[in-house]
Amino acid sequence: MTVTDVRKDPQNLTMTLDAEFDATPDRVWELWADPRQLERWWGPPTYPATFTSHDLREGGRAEYHMTGPTGDQPKGYWEITDAEPPHRLSFRDGFRDADGRPNSDMPVNEVDVTISDAGGGRTKMSIVSIFPDTAAMEQLLAMGMQEGLTEAVGQIDAILAGEPARA
**Can you name the residues that pair with 78 across neighbouring β-strands?**
62, 93
* pTM of this structure: 0.94
Quickly list H helices, the chain.
25-33, 35-39, 134-142, 145-153, 156-160
Number of H helices, E strands in the chain: 5, 8
**Can you name the residues that pair with 34 across neighbouring β-strands?**
none
State pLDDT tens for residues 4-28.
Answer: 999 999 999 999 999 999 999 999 9
- Rounded to an integer, the average pLDDT of 113-136 is 97
By the 8 A CB rule, do 40 and 155 touch?
yes
Does pLDDT of 165 surpass 70? Answer: no
State pLDDT tens for residues 41-77.
Answer: 999 999 999 999 999 999 999 999 999 999 999 999 9
Q: By C-alpha distance, which of 136, 138, 118 is closest to 126?
A: 118
Q: What percent of the chain has pLDDT over 70?
A: 98
- Amino acid of residue 161: A
pLDDT at position 103? 94
Q: CA-to-CA distance for 158 and 140, rounded, in angstroms?
A: 27
Contacts of residue 83, defined as CB under 8 A and 6 or more positions apart, other chains included, come to 56, 57, 58, 60, 89, 90
pLDDT at position 166? 58
Q: CA-to-CA distance for 153 and 104, rounded, in angstroms?
A: 27
Q: Which domains does the chain have, with CATH numbers?
A: 3-160 (3.30.530.20)
